[in-house]
Structure 1
């Protein structure tokens, strides 16, 4: 209906107010370059996409979409992502630290006593140097 390589969607629905990632991906095949957008839920899927890059598929941009309870801006916000780190908090729960290009650091913990400096077993998932500029 829309022609080769064209698609359209109308709605995406999410139940939980959790952060997610918007990836811009460049795919090259038979001398043709196509840009795709992926909406990724969770660090495991983000890491899978990062590892899957090769000479034909590369991530050129990653933005993080954060809900207001994470970014303290009163509304959802999409910002360029600089770094993602996973760690374990003082309650033994996994927590994610998101650093955006502007320098702000957000976390996904719902603990009122959460302190990023007390995270243990820190594992970097993403750094901005892992993507290619468009």
Structure 2
């Protein structure tokens, strides 16, 4: 099964500058634990600038891969069956669920893995 990917950029400053400007690079991350390690590695001079969710067609309903701005990633539990799901909240307010189909109204947020307010430098 195809799963969502995370595409984001990091900015490097300090000794990696060109004419005083930071250098940015893009990363494509394939797992949530790896994504969390990148987020936790932020420090002075290295930070995440933006995150896009790269979702397969079966997840986004379009039939093809799409890139959309990720606003929040929640680890959620379905209250009815107890299964864990990742809930991707995207720009514009729509969302996708990774895992077996679940009704959004039955999901309880167990943990916020990522939010633009908490993890992105502005």
TM tier relative to shorter chain: 0.7 to 0.9
Offset, 1:87: 1.6
Runs of 4+ residues over 4 Å off in structure 1: none
Shift of 1:73: 1.6
- TM-score scaled by length of structure 1: 0.78
Match of 1:29 in 2: 14
Q: Which has the higher strand share?
A: 2
Residue 39 in 1 paired to residue 24 in 2? Answer: no
Aligned residue for 2:96? 106
Range that drifts further, 93-102 or 24-33: 24-33
Cα shift at 1:92: 3.1
Pair 1:19-2:9 in alignment: no
Distance 1:41 1:31, change over 3 A: closer
Larger Rg: 1
Q: How far apart are 1:31 and its partner, in Å?
A: 5.9
Take 2:120 and 2:8, find their aligned partners in 1: how far apart are those partners? 10
How many residues align structurally?
A: 116
Task: Provide the TM-score with structure 2 as the length reference.
Answer: 0.85
- How far residue 91 of structure 1 moved from its aligned partner, in angstroms, is 3.1
* CA RMSD across the alignment: 1.6
Cα deviation 1:45-101 (Å, max 9, x = unaligned): 111111110001010010000111111122111001111000222333321000111
Which residues of structure 2 form unaligned runs of 5+? none
